[in-house]
Amino acid sequence: MVKEKLSVTGKEKTQLTDTYELVLYNDDFNTFEFVINSLIEVCNLEAIQAEQITLIVHYKGKCGVISGTFSELKPMYEEMINRGLTVSIE
């Protein structure tokens, strides 16, 4: 969860927003091309973004792909799992 500060009539107010992140993990099964294409198709990323995320995952082991509410990320998570990718919502 992320704390977000809002200014309301000169007073500062802290509000909790339910923001999650779809995280992609490295595996030894899927090709770079498959992962890149999956990120483009499922998460609506630009090709360059998908390529960069794929390289980060390869070298660092994991990378955050996209942020949003749980209900926004759940369908993407399920499709990525169906494609055999290792992902989580954190």
pLDDT number for residue 18: 85
Q: Measuring CA to CA, how many Å separate 87 from each of 26, 46, 55?
A: 9, 19, 16
pLDDT number for residue 70: 95
pLDDT number for residue 50: 98
Residue 72 lies in a domain: yes
Number of structural domains found in the chain: 1
pLDDT number for residue 5: 41
pTM assigned to the model: 0.81
Category of 9 on φ-ψ map: left (φ > 0), alpha (ψ -120 to 50) or beta: left
pLDDT tens, N- to C-terminus, the chain (90 residues)? 444 444 444 444 444 568 999 999 999 999 999 999 999 999 999 999 999 999 999 999 999 999 999 999 999 999 999 999 999 999
Residue 10 lies in a domain: no
CB atoms within 10 A of CB 26: 16
Distance between CA atoms of residues 54 and 26, nearest Å: 9
Residue 78 lies in a domain: yes
Domain containing residue 25: 18-89
